[in-house]
Amino acid sequence: MKKIYTADSAAMAWHIRNVLEQHDIYAEVKNEKLASIAGETPITETMPEVWVKPLFAKRAEQIVQEVLNSDDSPEGEDWICMTCGEENTASFDICWNCQDPAN
């Protein structure tokens, strides 16, 4: 097995894994359990990792790049307009209230 991605959260690692499986690439998430004891271990040692078979590593890395480069958060996060303080949903590029761009 070969490590192709180090995620900053277990959720991201599993997301990557799911995407890889959609491409018929079997992937494993490692270190996930360690993340739950973060605080006792240096954070760099608790980052969840995504591993695949070496045969698939190149293709998997391409897919990961595509995932990371695409705007892969349909839900996204709500944002607060810095100009008027109104809350906007992630799908808004500009503030619904004052039309200022998302900042």
Q: How far is the CB of 96 from Zn ion (least distance, A)?
A: 8
> Judged by CB under 5 A, which of 33, 83, 87, 101 binds Zn ion?
83
Piece of 6-14, 35-43, 62-70, 75-83 that binds Zn ion (CB under 5 A): 75-83
Backbone angles phi, psi at 65, to 5 degrees: -60, -40
Q: In terms of CB distance, is 61 or 100 closer to Zn ion?
A: 100
Is 88 a binding residue for Zn ion by CB under 5 A? The answer is no
Cα dihedral sign for 65, 75, 49, 30?
Answer: negative
Q: Report how far apart, in Å, the C-alpha atoms of 18 and of each of 29, 35, 41, 80 are.
A: 10, 19, 27, 31
Backbone angles phi, psi at 34, to 5 degrees: -60, -30
Would you state the structure tokens that stand for residue 10, as one six-digit string? 């277990």
Q: How many residues lie near Zn ion (CB under 5 A)?
A: 8
**How far is it, in rounded angstroms, from Cα 55 to Cα 43?**
30
Binding mask 30-69 for Zn ion (x = CB under 5 A): ----------------------------------------
List residues near Zn ion by CB under 5 A.
Answer: 81, 83-84, 86, 95, 97-98, 100
